[in-house]
Each structure stands twice: as C-alpha cells, then as structure tokens.
Amino acid sequence: MAPGAPHLLNPATADSPRKDGHATPVYLIEDNRLLRDSIADVLRSEGFRVVGVSRGADEALAALERARPKVVLLEAGLADSVSIAEELRRTRPDAKVVAMNFVPSHEGLVAFIRAGVAGFTLKDATADAFVASVRRVVDGAPALPRALGGLLFHHVAQSRGRPSPDARGRARLTRRECEVIDLIADGLSNKEIADRLHVATHTVKSHVHGVLGKLELRSRLEVAAYAHAEKAGR
C-alpha cells in the first residue's frame, strides 16, 4: 500500500464487537501516524469498529463511500479540516463528524459549527474524555467540552445581537425545559433524558424544540453552550 493511502479494514474481521453485540463503525482522519495508530488502538479497545484511517482529505473522501462509517473523527489541525467537514456534510450527511484535538479559538469554533460538526474533543483531552465524547455523538448528544461553552455562546449572542444569558432567558422556559437544557449540557441524548425524566422520547424532542424556539437557538450544541455560559455567570 502506498504511503498516505487510505487503509480500509474488512468490516467482518477488523475489530471485535462490543459485548452488547454492537460496534459503531468509525473512520479516522489524522496526519500524524503515531497519533493515528494510538487513537485507533484506543477506539478498538473501547469496542468501536475502526473501518478505515487516512492522513488527509484526498484519500479519505474517496474511501468513505466504501467505508460507510457512522462517525468520522477529523483532526482539527489539518489545513483543510473545515473544508473536509463541509464536504462530508454534503456527501455523507448520515455520518457525524467530530473535530478532534481542537485548540479553542473563536474563529475555528464558528467555522466548524457552520460546517456542521456534531462535536469536539480538545487537544489536551484524556483518553477517557475522548472516548466519552465519541460515545455522546454516537448517541445523538452534543459533545461540547465545557471550555468551549462560553466561547460558542459568545458567538451565538453576538450573531443575534443580544447580551449573554441572564435570568430573563430562563424566565421564558418551563421548569421541564430548564431540566432538559441542563441534561443536554451534561451530554445526554434524547433517550437518556427521557429515561432520566421518566417521559417518552418524543416528549423530550418536543421540549428541545420549545427550547430552541424560545431561546432562538439552532442546535443542541448551542443549547449546551447556553447552559454552560449561564452556569458560569451564576
């Protein structure tokens, strides 16, 4: 295999399934070979099915059609990482993209959010935090490290021409909507929130819709950012 070529794995034999019989297919885009191999090993040890790895966009975009991952882990430090995320949203809308090894910056965060990523992992994240973030995205929950919450909400507030969250924001919400916001900020999926609150999943979806409308937000990541920013200001 030529250096830098994508490494596609046989989905039937590559990795062992998790004990619950389910192994989420993951594709890894990372230009550092040592880091790429280490991350792949961590993912396999946690029961994920690594269906392919590559060092950059050219190899990855051609290989992803065959690999069909549920999650794409994208090195945020690549020069064309935002463009890759945008292209993945267009060509593989069923795959959730996680920008990994992200170094907090306002411009970078906004660019990735606009590109449609489902979550972030920070450059200094521990292995446990990294895996937990990937699992959140798999479960449909936002993976937004607390360090990015205030940064993202600052962007949201600026783009809406309004100040940071205050008591008036909460006043527009029902008690149940406030509970849902806090659980989204904790990284729970709709199903996990439903289990925690002892309600149906469709009820949680209705609450999330209400929260988005009342706070003029567009995504679960923005809801999580709102919660983190509000807690920081208490």
* Pick from 170, 160, 177: nearest CA to 217: 160
Locate 233 and state its tokens: 């200001």
Residue 91 has pLDDT above 80, yes or no: yes
How much of the chain exceeds pLDDT 90, in percent? Answer: 34
The pLDDT-based confidence of 193 (bands split at 50, 70, 90) is very high
pLDDT the model gives residue 22: 58
The predicted-structure confidence for 10-38, as pLDDT tens digits, reads as follows 443 344 444 433 589 999 999 999 999 99
Q: Whole-prediction pTM value?
A: 0.69
Burial class of residue 47 in the structure, from the number of CB atoms within 10 Å of its CB (0-12 exposed, 13-18 middle, 19+ buried): middle
pLDDT the model gives residue 194: 93
* Pick from 36, 130, 40, 31: nearest CA to 81: 31
